[in-house]
Amino acid sequence: MENTFNNQRVLITGANGFIGSHVVQRMVQEKALVSVIVRESSDLWRIEELKKEIDINLVDLRDSASIDKCVKSLKPDFVFHVGAYGVDSRQKDYSTAANTNIMGTMNLLNSVKDIGCKKFINVGTCMEYGDKQEIIRENSYLEPDSIYGSTKASATIIAHQIAKENNINLVTLRPFGIFGEKEGSHKFFPYIILSILEGKDVNLTPCEQYRDYCYIENIMDGFVLAAKNETVNNEIFNIGSGEIFKLKHFVDIIYNQMRSTKQPNYGALPYRQNEVWRQQPDTNKMKRLLNWEPKVSLEEGIKRTINWYETNTEKFVGTKR
């Protein structure tokens, strides 16, 4: 089978982030000509070993003139728009969220519409939906409960409108919980794994919230299938395992695999003020139209993740990563 990305110009935003760095890695493996857009202040530790194989552009998504110049000189065949503000719940500035997530997306599409590209993959988020008791379908009502969710929802709506008007082949993927190598230490899985490795207490909420967690490589398979598909256009897809468990379930798997005899301190932390209690995606559309299935099981994904943190613990010691 021909390699869709071989010698194709691929542009990735947010390449220094958890998901973005995995897109970079996958596209390098696919022998694409990879260019990335990152801010000047970005810590590039996640793509350190790939620096020689990619073209790094220090541009801020909010700077329309610089984005326009950059995109028009690169003329990408494929765009993976992963860059966003607010993924980290500690990022709460309303203006920065709106300018990065909404205006940044508009700036990018505004430049792409003049040069055309084969596929624009817009990475949305499950946070666009908010807390839902029922199973979430792509046409479910959007009721985000964070500035991240609301600006991402706005960006998705605007992106599809601009793409439709300018004949840009655009697809939005809305990932649910993702875990895997290179995630920040404040995130759920790395926090537990690194705490156990360092012999520290694991302080958690009662962990009765339901979540869908899917291993990063499964998500990357979905990104690749969405980009390769020439017929599916102007669609939104949920991407996740489709199964939800209480957070305690994931904690148990980590503890069992790491053979830790200590117990986590459930209830040591309060629930968040706007806690999302349940988000279960319907992933049938992704499976039906893009022929996607998660290949790596939850247990195997956790095993690979633990192995990576065991080998790379020094990357986190004494840093805010």
Domains present along the chain, CATH in parentheses: 9-178+213-239 (3.40.50.720), 181-212+243-280+296-315 (3.90.25.10)
- What average pLDDT does range 200-227 have in this prediction? 97
275 band by pLDDT with thresholds 50, 70 and 90: confident
Render pLDDT for 111-170 as a digit per residue (tens, 0 to 9): 999 898 999 999 999 999 999 999 999 999 999 999 999 999 999 999 999 999 999 999
234 band by pLDDT with thresholds 50, 70 and 90: very high
The chain-wide mean pLDDT, for the chain, equals: 95
Estimate to the nearest angstrom the gap between the alpha carbon of 122 and the chain centroid: 10
Looking at residue 1, what is its pLDDT? Answer: 46
pTM of the model: 0.96
Residues 6+ apart with CB under 8 A from 217: 22, 180, 295, 296, 301
User: What DSSP string describes 41-55?
Assistant: T---GGGGGGGGGSE
Measured between alpha carbons, how far is 302 from 296 in angstroms, rounded to an integer? 10
Residue 318 predicted with pLDDT over 80 = no
2 band by pLDDT with thresholds 50, 70 and 90: low
Strand partners, 122: 81, 172
Q: What interhelical angle do 188-197 and 298-311 show, nearest 10?
A: 50
Looking at residue 3, what is its pLDDT? Answer: 84
- Nearest to 250, CA basis, from 288, 193, 203, 200: 193
Q: Residue 35: phi, psi to the nearest 5?
A: -120, 140
Render pLDDT for 41-81 as a digit per residue (tens, 0 to 9): 899 999 999 999 999 999 999 999 999 999 999 999 999 99
Residue 198 predicted with pLDDT over 90 = yes
